[in-house]
Structure 1
Amino acid sequence: MTYKQIKWLILLIPTLTSATWEYVRHKYLLPYIFMEVGNLLSPVFVFLVTMIVVVKLFKILEHMKEELEKEKAQKSILEEREKLSRELHDSIAQTLFLLSVKE
């Protein structure tokens, strides 16, 4: 799952849960559940679904962020190593050239 998809799911899941609950409540459960009880159950139901699903998505998002930070750190280490090796190579090459010129 991409970063963008996860962000959209985090935004849409509570909205779709609320819309689905309200539709089902008004279409099928109105004869069985009073309006006041349904109004009290709506935020509870949306909160439970959000906690179950969206928390998992946040964990995935955090894991992706941690991996990205590790990759950036490794990349910077490799770039620094490459820079040092180039400098050492150039320094050794210059020293050898000077030695060959002096003789």
Structure 2
Amino acid sequence: MPADANAYGDIFGGWLMSLMDSGAGLVAARRAKGRAVTVAMDGVEFHKPVKVGDEVSVYAEITKVGRTSMVIATDAYRRERHSEDEELVTSASFTFVAVDDHGKPRAVDAA
């Protein structure tokens, strides 16, 4: 939407990173079978801009699981409103830690 964009009609990078964090968080919570929190975001690359009106899709995949943490590779793609073609716009790696009800790290169950 226009409120999420700069004067040139490009969506703010922070808005897109928030969307990617949410997508990666869903994957982390499902794998952890409970709450997981973002502790790091690495290797953010903005490949192309997202324009107002574009459809944005986020894809996330677990690439590493430690005792309490998970690394999730996350890519965002844009599709112009009247097109079938998607193009990669942003990539990042998110690290999540599974936490208990008190916010303390807990083990991630084996898959």
Say which structure is richer in strand: 2
TM-score normalised by the chain length of structure 1? 0.30
Higher relative contact order (CA 8 A, sep 6+): 1
Say which structure is richer in helix: 1
